[in-house]
Amino acid sequence: MEVTRLFDMLERDMKEFPKEDALCCKENGSWVKYSTAKYVEIVNNLSYGLMQLGIKKGDSVATITPNRPEWNFLDMAIMQIGALHVAIYPTISESDYRYIFDDANVKLVFVAGWDLLRKITQILEDKPELKNNVYTFRNLLGYKHLNEVIDLGRANPAPQYLQEIKDSIQPEDVVSLVYTSGTTGFPKGVMLTHRNFLSNVEAVLPIIPTAENNRILSYLPLCHVYERMMNYAWQYLGLPIYYAENLAKIQENMVELKPDIFTTVPRLLEKVYDKILAKGHKLSKTKQKIFFWANEIALQYGDNPGKRYDRKLKLARKLVLNQWNKALGGNLKVIVTGGAAIQPRISKVFWAMGIPVLEGYGTTETSPVIAVSNFFQGGVEIGTAGPVLPGTRVRIAEDGEILTKGPHVMKGYYNQPEQTAEVIDSDGWLHTGDLGQLTPEGRLKITGRKKEMFKTAFGKYVVPTIIENKFLEESLIDNILVVGENKQFAAALIVPNFSDLRSWCVNKGIDYTTNEEMIEHPEVQKKYKKIVDEYNKFFGDTEKVKRFLLMNHEWSIQSGELTPTLKLKRNVLIKKYEDQIERLFA
C-alpha cells in the first residue's frame, strides 16, 4: 500500500512485515519484545485514550524519554489524531523546558521516569493545569501512568471516529515540532510534515543495503531528527529495532545482538577507535608491532588501491582487524554516520575492518538529510558527505554557504515568521548556515559552520571546526574548542583523553592524585605542547593554536556542554569558561 502519512506504515507493516520483535528494549537484564500486532494495538488504544482526554487535531503533546518502544507508541498515536508531537531532549535546561511548554502550548506531557520528571517539577508547580496532565512510564506517587491512557482507550474504542480523523490528515500537515537552539538564545520549533520525513525516508532507503532479516541497533536520541528519520526508515522496511540500554553499554549490546546496521555520530566512532588503540598499547612488544602495522595498513585504505595493498589488507584483517570487527558484534553490514563531519582516518579504519561507513549531512530544518555517501555513484569518496539526495536541490552561495530546496525543507519555525524568512528566501531556498563545496564528481563536502567562523584582530577569518577536527585525530585529546574572535591569534581549550593520559603517565612514572594535579605536571604540559606544535604544521599562521589550556574534566551531554549528538555547544562553552579563555589571551 502507498505510504503518504507516517502512520500509514503501521497498516503496511501489519500486512507485509508482521514480526514478533518489531520494537525491543532491555529491562531487568532481558530483552522485552513487542510484536507488530501488539505495537498497532497499543497505538490505537493510546489514540482513543488521547481523544478521551480531549486532545484534538493541532494540539501539542510532549514526550521526555530516552529511546524506548513507548516513544514509538506515543509518536504514532499522537500522529493518528492529528496532534503535534513535541519530542524534547532529556538533557536541556529548565529554562528551555519552560519556554517549549509555553511556546508550543503543550497540553499533555509523557515522562519516562523520576530522573527526568524531577527536571520539570518546579515548572509543573508553576503550571498546575499541566501538572494534572503528566503521565509517566513508572509508578510514581502523585503522578498518573501511561497505562491509564491505554486502559482508557481500550475501554472507549472509537475506530470509526479515529478513521475519520486519519482520513482528514494530509501529507503537508505538520506532524511534529522539533525544538532546536537559535541565535536568540531560545529554542526554535521546527515544523516538520509527513511529507518532509517521508521524502527523506524514500530517498535514503535505496542507498543503505538492507535485507529482510537485518537487525537494527539504535542508541541516538529519537527526539533528534536524524535518528528519528532513520527510525521511520527501518519501520518503513519492516526491520526489527533494538534500543541500546545506554551509551555505556553500546558495545556490550553489539556483541550480544550482532546487529547488521548501526546509526551513529563521528564522536562515538572516534571513542571506539581510541579504545582499540589503548588496548594495543597494552600488548607485548611483538604483538604491539603486528597490531600497529595492521593499524597503519588500515589508515592507508583507499589511498593506494592495487593488488599489493589488497594483499597487505587481507593479512592485516586476518591477524588483527577481524578481531576489532568482532568487538562490534562481527556482523555489521554498514554504519551510517551523521550530525558532524567524520575524520577521514576514522572512515578508513572501519572500511579496512570490512565495515562500510556511509557519511550523511543535513539539518533539523531539512528532515534532516541533504546528502549521503553511497555505493553506486562512482563509489564512496572518503571525506565527503556524498551525492545530494534524489529530489533534493543544492547550490553553493558566493560566500560558500550551502543552500537547499525541495520536499525535505521544513514548513517554517513555529510562531516565528520573521526567523523563518531569514533562513528560507523568497525563492524557497533554505540557507543552512553551513559552509561547503561540491566536488567535480558532484559530492558535497562540508568545510565548516558559517556562524562559527570568527575574525581575528587582523581581519583574518578562521573556521574553528576544521582545526578542531584535525586535532581530534590525536588519541590524547578527547575534545577541543578553538577560540579567537577579535584576538591577535587562535587559542584552544583542550580536554585530555583522561584514560589514555593516565596510561601515558604510568609509562612515564608520573605521580599525581587528581586530574588537576596531573594536567599541571610539567611533563604533561610539555607533551601537549609537542602535540599542539605537531598539528599546527597543518595550518597557516592565522589558524595555528598559539596558546592552550588543559581542562581538568570531560565535557558531556549531562553538563550541557555537548549536544545529544556529541557536538560542542560552542556558545555555552565560551560563556561557561569565559575566565579561562580570557587567561589564554592575557
Instruction: Determine the straight-line distance between the first and last CA of the chain, rounded to whole angstroms.
Output: 66
Alpha-carbon distance of 32 to 351, in angstroms, equals 33
User: Is the backbone of residue 409 left (phi > 0), alpha (psi -120 to 50) or beta?
Assistant: beta
For 183, phi then psi, to 5°, come to -70, -20
Paired residues of 218 in beta bridges = 243
pLDDT at 145: 97
CB 325 within 8 A of CB 333: no
Residue 426: how many other CB atoms lie within 10 Å: 6
Q: What number of helices (H) and strands (E) belong to the chain?
A: 24, 25
Amino acid symbol at 391: G
Q: Is 514 helix (H, G, I), strand (E, B) or coil?
A: coil
pLDDT at 267: 85
pLDDT at 274: 87
Q: Domains along the chain?
A: 8-206+218-236 (3.40.50.12780), 453-584 (3.30.300.30)
pLDDT of residue 375 exceeding 90, the answer is no
Query: How far is C-alpha 234 from the geometric centre of its chain's CA atoms?
Result: 16
Alpha-carbon distance of 91 to 476, in angstroms, equals 27
Alpha-carbon distance of 323 to 353, in angstroms, equals 9
pLDDT band for position 449 (cuts 50, 70, 90): confident
pLDDT at 141: 86
CB 448 within 8 A of CB 435: yes
Q: What is the mean pLDDT of residues 413-438?
A: 95
pLDDT at 57: 96
Contacts with 108 (C-beta within 8 Å, 6 or more apart), sequence order = 50, 53, 55, 61, 62, 133, 134, 135
pLDDT at 382: 81
pLDDT at 183: 41
Average pLDDT, the chain: 93
CB 45 within 8 A of CB 28: no
B/e letters for 82-108, b = 16+ CB within 10 Å, e = fewer, are bbbbbbbbbbbeeebbebbbebbebbb
23-32, 340-349, 561-570: segment of lowest average pLDDT: 561-570
pLDDT of residue 193 exceeding 90, the answer is yes
Which is higher by pLDDT, 306 or 38? 38
ω into 356 cis (within 30 of 0): no
As a whole number of angstroms, the longest Cα–Cα distance in the chain is 75
pLDDT of residue 379 exceeding 70, the answer is no
Alpha-carbon distance of 201 to 2, in angstroms, equals 13
Alpha-carbon distance of 17 to 564, in angstroms, equals 31
pLDDT band for position 452 (cuts 50, 70, 90): confident
pLDDT at 184: 47
Identify the residue whose cell numbers are 528494549. Answer: 25
pLDDT at 185: 61
pLDDT digits (tens, 9 = 90+) for 132-190: 999 999 998 889 999 999 999 999 999 999 999 999 999 999 999 999 864 446 789 99
CB 72 within 8 A of CB 22: no
Residue 512: how many other CB atoms lie within 10 Å: 14
Exposure of 61 in the CB half-sphere (CA atoms within 13 A): 30
CB 32 within 8 A of CB 140: no
pLDDT of residue 250 exceeding 60, the answer is yes
Grid coordinates in use for 581?
Answer: 579563555
Q: What is the mean pLDDT of residues 323-328?
A: 94
The burial of 405, by beta-carbon neighbours within 10 Å (0-12 exposed, 13-18 middle, 19 or more buried), is given as middle
pLDDT of residue 61 exceeding 90, the answer is yes
pLDDT at 181: 65
User: What is the four-CA torsion angle of 442, 444, 445, 446, rounded to 10 degrees?
Assistant: 160
Q: What is the mean pLDDT of residues 322-332?
A: 95
pLDDT at 134: 96
Contacts with 149 (C-beta within 8 Å, 6 or more apart), sequence order = 46, 49, 50, 53, 135
pLDDT band for position 353 (cuts 50, 70, 90): very high
- Regarding pTM above 0.85, the answer is yes
Identify the residue whose cell numbers are 551513529. Answer: 264
Which is higher by pLDDT, 304 or 380? 304
Grid coordinates in use for 583?
Answer: 587567561
